[in-house]
Amino acid sequence: MKSGSFIDGPPPADAGLFGFYLEESQQQIVVIGVPWEVTTSYGRGTAAAPDAIVKASHQLDLFDPQLQRSFGQEVAMLPISEKWRTWNRECSALALPIIEAGGRVQGKLRHDLEKINQIGDQLNVELRCLVASLLEEGKRVAILGGDHASPYGSILAHFDRYPGMGILHFDAHADLRVAYEGFLYSHASIMYNLVHEIPELAALVSVGVRDFSEDEAQIAENHPSIHAFYDHLIQAKLFQGCSWHAICQEILKPLPKEVYVSFDIDGLDPACCPHTGTPVPGGLSFNQAVYLLEQVVASGRKIVGFDLVEVAPNAKDPDDEWDTNVGARLLHRLASLTYRSNGCKM
Ligand SMILES: [Mn+2]
């Protein structure tokens, strides 16, 4: 185990998240890698993110200015399920012709679509059970995707345990599409699925959304739990001289005491995530996003769990670690803020 500083140089290549060799039974925050991107319709590669972010995390300096000490040994990552990797490979191959057909399928493709929906359901059920048992042990749980379909079972498990919770959702997209391209558990449908599965959800607060359909805008407008802080409106307020601090307080208002954070990296400016599946110009800066999360904690709210999804390594250049470098840093910030918002003990 490394000491927490880089005095001795970077950790060995086989070390785990943040350079440690840790057992999850000893740690307070457990990260579950979900290498799943079956329904990704544009740029692919986010299934490789959990492994690549672990590798990139070895380069981080773990000193946390708020805690005034190194942070990282409080977090352990489970070994990634080989079965989930296999499911992702097999279902991704079946999904490509369905995506090409825009989901309008018959015969064999319809059969394949049903199989993908069924395996997606199985993944959600397995993840929900696994997360529920970790929450039962008093852990905080983070999902490292994978696309935005990957944390669905985990969010349901968090709601089972924290029925008063709200969701703070960073994303360029509203993710309110109904069974996008025929997939019940599409990356583009997760928030639609959640607000329908959980009608009593206290709040879904989406930030940075800037690529959405008319139907999604109407769903967001008409649903009592959904509060969309669209990117163009945020930027207009900033241009008019409103401070980011003041905007953050507006964003936090609808959120209850317990907050689940669902962080799609494409909510950030694509300069931070050039290889993500569906990059969109605009978005939050890294510092704006971290400041908003800091304000969640400063307001006395508690982060009960989180996910980080849609980070994608540069598939064409394995030496380019930029996307996963940003992803590892954001994971480190999210974990540290979760830890602090729980009073540094769980
Ligand atoms: Mn998303």
CA of 188 to the centre of ligand 1 (A): 6
Return the amino acid letter for 1. Answer: M
Q: Is the pLDDT of residue 57 over 60?
A: yes
CA of 46 to the centre of ligand 1 (A): 12
287 burial class (0-12, 13-18, 19+ CB within 10 angstroms)?
Answer: exposed
Domain 17-341 has CATH 3.40.630.10: no
CA of 73 to the centre of ligand 1 (A): 29
Q: Which residues surround ligand 1, an ion (CB under 5 A)?
A: 148, 171, 173, 175, 264
**Taking Cα atoms as reference points, which of 251, 284, 248, 252 lies closest to residue 266?**
284
CA of 36 to the centre of ligand 1 (A): 13
Report the alpha-carbon distance of residue 75 to residue 24 in Å, rounded.
8
**Taking Cα atoms as reference points, which of 152, 238, 241, 237 lies closest to residue 189?**
152
Residues in the chain: 346
Q: Is the pLDDT of residue 7 over 80?
A: no
pTM of the model: 0.96
Domain positions in the chain: 17-341
pLDDT, residue 204, reads 98
- Phi, psi at residue 231, to the nearest 5°? -60, -40
CA of 259 to the centre of ligand 1 (A): 18
CA of 146 to the centre of ligand 1 (A): 11
CA of 264 to the centre of ligand 1 (A): 5
Q: Is the pLDDT of residue 289 over 90?
A: yes
pLDDT, residue 3, reads 41
Report the alpha-carbon distance of residue 137 to residue 156 in Å, rounded.
17
Q: Is the pLDDT of residue 28 over 80?
A: yes
Contact 199, 274 (CB under 8 A): no
CA of 37 to the centre of ligand 1 (A): 12
CA of 280 to the centre of ligand 1 (A): 12
pLDDT digits (tens, 9 = 90+) for 202-243: 999 999 999 999 999 999 999 999 999 999 999 999 999 999
CA of 110 to the centre of ligand 1 (A): 25
Q: Is the pLDDT of residue 344 over 90?
A: no
CA of 170 to the centre of ligand 1 (A): 8
The beta-strand segments (E) located in the chain are: 29-34, 63-64, 69-70, 75-77, 140-145, 166-170, 204-207, 226-229, 258-264, 302-309
Residue with tokens 């508690």: 302
Q: Is the pLDDT of residue 175 over 50?
A: yes
Contact 27, 85 (CB under 8 A): no
pLDDT digits (tens, 9 = 90+) for 237-284: 999 999 999 999 999 999 999 999 999 999 999 999 999 999 999 999
pLDDT, residue 5, reads 44
**Taking Cα atoms as reference points, which of 203, 239, 197 lies closest to residue 223?**
203
